[in-house]
Amino acid sequence: MADKQPVNSLAEQVMARLIADIRGGRLAPGTRLPTEQALTTELGVSRTVVREAVAALRADGLVVTRRGSGAYVADPAAGPFRIASPRAPSLPDILDVMELRLAVEVEAAALAAERASRRQLATIRTAWRAIDAALLRGEGAVAEDFAFHRAIAEATGNDQFPRFLAYLGSHVIPRQSVRLDVDTPAQRRLYLERIQAEHAQIVAAISDKDPSEARRAMRDHLTRSLERYRTLAGGIRNGRR
Amino acid sequence: MADKQPVNSLAEQVMARLIADIRGGRLAPGTRLPTEQALTTELGVSRTVVREAVAALRADGLVVTRRGSGAYVADPAAGPFRIASPRAPSLPDILDVMELRLAVEVEAAALAAERASRRQLATIRTAWRAIDAALLRGEGAVAEDFAFHRAIAEATGNDQFPRFLAYLGSHVIPRQSVRLDVDTPAQRRLYLERIQAEHAQIVAAISDKDPSEARRAMRDHLTRSLERYRTLAGGIRNGRR
DNA sequence: GGCGGTGCAGTTGTCAGACAACTGAAGACC
DNA sequence: GGTCTTCAGTTGTCTGACAACTGCACCGCC
């Protein structure tokens, strides 16, 4: 009863097999993969199963099908990006993702400082005040914090930044609230206020249109956050180097 | 003949319909979506089509199915990240992706400077020399250049960096070779040698375990590359701010 | 009444066979 | 030689059936 996924469906097995063939290079991009009938006889499954596996691969962008002609291995560039180890992400995994997030956000802050329109700047300030408001109400401000960071990403004018951040955020942010619960309310309040002070520096730098200062402030902010997690990890992964 | 995709298959239509229902909020996360039979009667298609559409959705991580129970809308966090506009990426799109790449690579260089093992350092130097060798042979060095950047990403010790870079790279790198063809061989050689000089600074900084210098060198390198593209874009998108 | 076991309707997973729509190429025709 | 037709092969869709499993109501037992 330890492992819960004994490869449930046949379709998944076939899919795994085909993915292995593609990623392993046995099926080069552009080549036609075996016909459905060939796969049914070779793998000993029904055509339904094969078709479902191929449909899944097509959804992942790994193959394209042409009716009457066959299914072809797509350009590998078409595949999506997934955070590694979607099941049971360990704390080291989360730290890795947070480092990636730091990289993107630091640059986002700088670009925002260069490019933010007045309207975008106002949105950032509003999001910042919303965190204040939540703190005054004595609440956590996870959602508000996320909105603040997203506002900065949107101010870059580059749609890739908010999109990627939203993707990363959905993997990282939820754990933060867990961490806060271990503190006493007083500690927690102090912690949140310090974070808000860091936020203030970021807002100031962006308002001043000072990219390098925005970079420094955002890096400080996220590095501290990262360090807090790293001490949590503690013995699990002490020195990586 | 302008548009070539008149929504080929029924399965795709059903899939689009379901995606719209999910993203539109009509099917909240965790709720069960209609049974296959309900969908067949409602949409007037066979169960085969419905099953294929659901299989595609499951491959995209939008739904999970439980045999004997039903299909459920998955947590949106499970979905993969895709670069926007997979079809016909325009030059501004590429610039956006390159900015994202810059953000990640600058930080990767710094982390590599902090953490690279001797073995990883050696790999980086080898990759760098491979570029030299290709240049001496009078060839372009697109693959070697990519390997060089990947070696740095791997030296971070954080698996997310090389993974993400590989994903981005497959979207950005291929175009570089196109650009080079417009120059004369002499210009081209000069250009490649200058790039190699920039690479040398990066290698030196990482060898010296100097993160901030590594950041600067990598930022310079990629910013120049970005600028070259931006001038190409020219009138298309001149001032973004 | 409470509680555990049993059976059943409902649902997804798989199989089998058939036909429609389309492709690519070989062969027929001029 | 060039064009047209035909045809085997392939994917897309439909239909019907059965297996495997789930959730729940029902029933008997204590």
Domain boundaries, chain A: 10-78, 91-237
**pLDDT at position A178 over 50:** no
Can you tell me which residue has its alpha carbon closest to the C1' of nucleotide D9?
A: A68
DSSP state of A66: E
Nearest 5°: phi and psi at B6? -80, 40
Evaluate if the CB of A65 falls below 7 Å from strand D: yes
Which whole number is the average pLDDT over B168-178? Answer: 54
Element (H, E) at B65: strand B63-66
Cβ distance A96 to B163 less than 8 Å, yes or no, reads: no
A119 touches chain B (CB under 8 A): no
Evaluate if the CB of A124 falls below 7 Å from strand C: no
Q: Which two tokens stand for residue B49?
A: 């089509």
Which whole number is the average pLDDT over B198-221? Answer: 95
d(CA B196, CA B190): 10
**pLDDT at position A150 over 60:** yes
Cβ distance A241 to B157 less than 8 Å, yes or no, reads: yes
* B234 confidence band (pLDDT: 50, 70, 90): low
d(CA B202, CA B217): 5
Cβ distance A160 to B115 less than 8 Å, yes or no, reads: no
Which whole number is the average pLDDT over A130-152? Answer: 83
Q: B46 CA to D16 C1', in Å?
A: 12
* A175 confidence band (pLDDT: 50, 70, 90): very low
Which whole number is the average pLDDT over A162-190? Answer: 63
d(CA A9, CA B11): 20
CATH for A10-78 (3.30.70.1520, 1.10.3720.10, 1.10.10.10, 2.40.50.100): 1.10.10.10
Cβ atoms within 10 Å, residue A139: 12
Q: How far is B191 from chain A (nearest CA, A)?
A: 27
Q: Which fold has domain B91-237?
A: Four Helix Bundle (Hemerythrin (Met), subunit A) (1.20.120)
Q: Residue B58 to residues A23, A76, B38: CA-CA distances in angstroms?
A: 20, 20, 18
The residue count of chain A comes to 241
Q: What is the pLDDT of residue B76?
A: 61
Q: What is the pLDDT of residue A106?
A: 96
3-state class of A64 per DSSP? strand
Strand C bases, protein C-beta under 7 A: 10-18, 21-24
Q: Minimal CA–CA distance to B99: which of B240, B229, B226? A: B226
d(CA A194, CA A221): 10
d(CA B183, CA B97): 24
* B10-55 confidence digits (pLDDT tens): 888 888 888 888 877 788 888 888 999 999 998 899 999 999 999 9
Q: B83 CA to C15 C1', in Å?
A: 39
Cβ atoms within 10 Å, residue B31: 11
| ∠ CA A217-A218-A224, rounded to 5° | 95
Contacts of B96 in chain A (CB under 8 A): 158-160
Mutate to test the interface with B, among A160, A171, A238 (most CBs of B within 10 A): A160
What percent of chain B is modeled with pLDDT above 70? 76
Cβ atoms within 10 Å, residue B196: 17
* B170 confidence band (pLDDT: 50, 70, 90): low
Nearest nucleotide to A38, CA against C1' atoms: D10
Strand D bases, protein C-beta under 7 A: 9-17, 20-23
The residue count of chain B comes to 241
d(CA A32, CA A15): 16
d(CA A200, CA B51): 52
Our measurement of the distance from residue A50's CA atom to the centroid of its chain's CA atoms, rounded to an integer in Å, reads 31
Q: Minimal CA–CA distance to A214: which of A108, A103, A100? A: A108
Cβ distance A81 to B167 less than 8 Å, yes or no, reads: yes
Helix extents (H) in B82-235: 91-115, 118-136, 142-154, 160-180, 185-207, 211-233
